[in-house]
Each structure stands twice: as C-alpha cells, then as structure tokens.
Amino acid sequence: MRRASRPTPEHRSLALFALTLGVFLVTLNVTVVIVALPSLQSDLGIGTDEAAWVIDAYNLVGASLLLSAGFLADRFGRKRMLCTGYTLFTIGAFACALAPGGTWLIAFRVLQAVGGTALTPTSLSIVANLYPDPRERARAIGIWGISSGVGTGLGPIVGGALTEWLGWRSVFVANALAGFVALMIVLRVVPRSRSAVARRIDVAGQLLVTGFLATLTYALIETPPYGFDSTRILVAFVLAAVLFVAFIVVELNVPEPLVDLGFFRDRQFAGAIFLSVATFFTFGGFIYFNALYLQDIRGYSALAAGVLTLPAAVPALIGGPLSGHLVGTRGPRGVLVGGMLVLGAGVGSLTLLAEDAALGWLLASYLVVGAGYGVLSAPVSTVAVASMPRDQAGVAAGLASSGRNIGVVFGIAVLGVIVNGRVPAMLAPGEGVSDAALSAFRNLYVDALQAAYVVAAAVAFVGAVVAALTMRPTPPGTSAPVA
C-alpha cells in the first residue's frame, strides 16, 4: 500500500474545496439542465422523450457505475481515479456545449456522467484520509455532504440564470470551467492514496444492472408515444425483468459481488436505501415538471423559473446540518418520518395546482417541499453508512448515492408516463395555434400534473411508513434514546 503524504493545513483546505466542488458539480447536474430544457428543445428541435433522456441519461449512468467507480479507485489509486473523473467530466461538459443535435447532446451527457461517477465515491474516500482526527474528519465529511444537497437544490437557479443571460450552452461551459479548475487543484494538492485490499470488479453484475436500469427507463420514457400494448414496450419490460432476475442470481453466486445483497438483511440499511430512492423520486420529479410548468404554462423565463424555485433550495442549506444533528442526538426515526411527511405534504399541495395559481401559494408549497427535502437529503446517506460496519462504509455510501440517481431517473420517467401519456405534445403560441386551443392544452397539462403529483406525494407518504417501520429510535452507536 502506498502511503499518502500529509498535506499542510492550507493545502488540506484547498483539497477539501476541490473535493466538495466535485460532488457539488455532480449533484448540480442532476437539476441544472432542467430549466434549460425548453430553450434547448427549441434550439435543437427535439421532442419531450429526447428531452427526458438529456436528464435521465446522466442519472442512469451515475446510478449504474457508482459502485464500480469505488472499486476502480481502490485498485488504481484514488487520486488517479479522481483526475480521470474530472477530465472526462470536463471534456463531456464542453462537448455538450458544442452538441449539434439531441442525439449528440445525450451521448455527451453520458460521457459527462461517466466522469462524474468517479468523483463522488472517490472524493469521499480522499476526504476521510485527509483528516486523521475524528472530529476534523466528521466536520469535513459534513461539509462534503451538505455540498451534495445544495448542488441539487441550486441547480434550477444556476441553470435559469445562465440560460437567460448567456443561453443554454453556457450551462455546460460553466461546468467545464469549474471542472478544469478543480482538476488543477487536485493535481497540485491532493495526496495519492489507495486501499490496502483492492477488490475485483464484478463485470457481469455491472453489465446486468446497467442493462436493467437502461431497459426499464427506456420502457417508461417511450411508453407515452408507443403505448403500453406496443410490442417494443412489452419486450422492453420483459427484458428488464429478465435482466433484474439474472442480476440477482449473479450477485448471489459471485465471490465479490457488485452489490452484497446480505446488506439488505439489516432492516435500517434497507429502509435507508428505499428512502433515498423515494426522496429523490419525489423531489426530482417535482423539480423537472415544475420547471416545465413555470416556463411553458405560466410563461416565465428560465431565470424567473429558477428564482421562483429558490424556496425549494434554501432549506437544504439549513435542513442538512440541523437534521444531521438531530439524527446524531435523537435518532433517525422521527427525523426521517417527519421529513417524508413534510415532503409529501408539500408535493401533495400541488395536486390543487391551477394554470393561474396564486404566486404566494406556489412559493409556500415550494418552501414546504424544500423543507422536507432539506431534512432528508443528507441523513438518508448518513443512516445507510452508519448501519454498516466501518470497513463496508464506502460500499454503503455508494449504494445510497446510487439510490439517489435511481430515484431521479424513475421520478422523471414514471411521472412522465402520466403527464406525457395525457398530453403527448407541447404547444406554444404561434401561427396556426388559436388562443382557445392553447388554453385547452394548458388546462389539460395542469390536470396531468395534478395526477403526477398525486403519485409523487404517495411515494413520499409510503416512505414515511417505511421510515417508521425500519428506522431505529436511537442515535447510531447507542442502545437507548438520548435525552
């Protein structure tokens, strides 16, 4: 094992900045492009299904490759993996800015996601190695974790401002510049390190889980234009089921599986992974369709849509540290049950959405959604890691992060089946479109959004029940409640 040289305190702070910037960029890109979708759809001439793939391709790759990224970092070195990730992320982002069409943009988003996948587990491992003192390490990991939640929440605001002022391509240019700056810092101040024991990569498991997620996502996104009864959609669903069963069989029989299914025997760990998926299913679906509602139905600019979403982002700055403290002192059950109930109530209030809904009411609903998300975004990962032995913490964190990406992918895809199934094409004012037709379309679209938000809220409320049944009432590492 190669020993890591200890950097100076100044270099350590600079390294922490580069590492947290990485996870911030990765999570920012989950939502930053969403408010730019109407603009890039118009510019590139792509439909709603391709637009959904611009978002889901990024999250799908992240969900599929996160665990293997951790294995590669252990085998080839964390700094090398981090630099490779930043390089691919930066090149992918710059290529997205130059994309001549929808297919190219989706392909470059995949490249960007492959790079981003290497940043999250690798940067967390390096942070843990940078700070040998337990208190300093806990503080640094807390900063790292908060940057993740803030990135997702600030995405619509950053994307809206850049799209409004400089055009949608500037969103990717900004990503490329930030990635390049972080890469230069990493090369200069981050020490080399690697695991003492390098695990083998489960190639079969990796291919099967990627195929399963991609096939199921394809089936969901393409259902509205083709219909549930079409041959291609039925084949896709059957193939997804076969791939999933094959994945389970492989994981039960290989010596070093990609996903150790034995982890899920721990009730709290299994519950935390479910809550990670449920949280980001609900919040990701809300962010995606709310951006389309504000721009295509209410007529707001990309910047205005981003600013109006601010109440859903600000609570992440406060909720993360507060909920982390409460989980550490009071236990996860009450915090996570409460967070899921608040998130469900916020999204549930949007089932009363109208084309001309009062702005104050909308902002209040967004604030409630943001409060629930802010409480949940960090603890779901923390609880998953705390439920496992220390030597399995990296794998547990990877599974929790994968759950986030899977939640966003399926949130957009499942809610998209509801919305796009009822409203197959987006209308815009222009020649040949009467005011009456446009008004009828908007009413139909709002009705579809109401139905989608019913499903999103239901997922959050189911999450509250799961939290009540699986979370322990005591803080991690204790056997009795803390007064």
CB contact at 8 A, 339 and 375: yes
Residue range 158-181: average pLDDT? 93
b (16+ CB within 10 A) / e for 227-265 = eeeeeebeebbebbeebbebbeebbeeeeebbbeeebee
Sequence-separated (6 or more) residues with CB below 8 Å from residue 92: 108, 109, 110, 111, 112, 113, 114, 115
How many of the other CB atoms lie within 10 Å of CB of 69? 23
More confident: 400 or 188: 188
pLDDT at 148: 73
pLDDT at 371 over 60: yes
Q: How confident is the model at residue 388 (pLDDT cuts 50, 70, 90)?
A: low
CB contact at 8 A, 287 and 309: yes
Q: Quick one: the chain helix, strand, coil %, rounded to 5?
A: 80, 0, 20
Smallest CA-to-CA distance from 412 within 149, 52, 31 is with 52
Q: Which of 27-31, 190-194, 320-324 has the lowest mean pLDDT?
A: 320-324
Sequence-separated (6 or more) residues with CB below 8 Å from residue 259: 67, 205, 209, 251, 399
More confident: 154 or 433: 154
Number of residues written out for the chain: 483
Q: How far apart are CA 161 and CA 179, in angstroms?
A: 19
How many of the other CB atoms lie within 10 Å of CB of 408? 30
pLDDT at 169: 95
The owner of tokens 């299913």 is: 281
The pTM of this model reads 0.84
Smallest CA-to-CA distance from 48 within 221, 285, 172 is with 221
Backbone angles phi, psi at 351, to 5 degrees: -70, -10
pLDDT at 477 over 60: no
pLDDT at 96: 96
b (16+ CB within 10 A) / e for 170-180 = bbbbbbbebbb
Q: Which of 91-100, 175-184, 188-197, 389-398 has the lowest mean pLDDT?
A: 389-398
pLDDT at 3: 45
- pLDDT over 70 percentage in the chain: 86
Smallest CA-to-CA distance from 332 within 367, 288, 295, 380 is with 380
More confident: 241 or 315: 241
- pLDDT over 90 percentage in the chain: 33
Smallest CA-to-CA distance from 343 within 268, 299, 247, 407 is with 407
CB contact at 8 A, 376 and 368: no
Name the CA radius of gyration of the chain, rounded: 22
Q: How far apart are CA 313 and CA 165, in angstroms?
A: 21
Question: pLDDT (tens digit, 9 = 90+) per residue, 81-137?
Answer: 889 999 999 999 999 999 999 999 999 999 999 999 888 777 877 776 777 776 676
pLDDT at 482: 34
Q: How far apart are CA 50 and CA 219, in angstroms?
A: 13
pLDDT at 4: 44
Smallest CA-to-CA distance from 116 within 66, 174, 79, 178 is with 66
pLDDT at 426: 56
pLDDT at 211 over 70: yes
| Most confident segment among 355-359, 381-385, 391-395, 473-477 | 355-359
Give how far Cα 77 sits from Cα of 17, 194, 333, Å.
20, 5, 37
Write out the H or E segment, with its range, that includes residue 335: helix 332-349
Amino acid at residue number 41:
Q
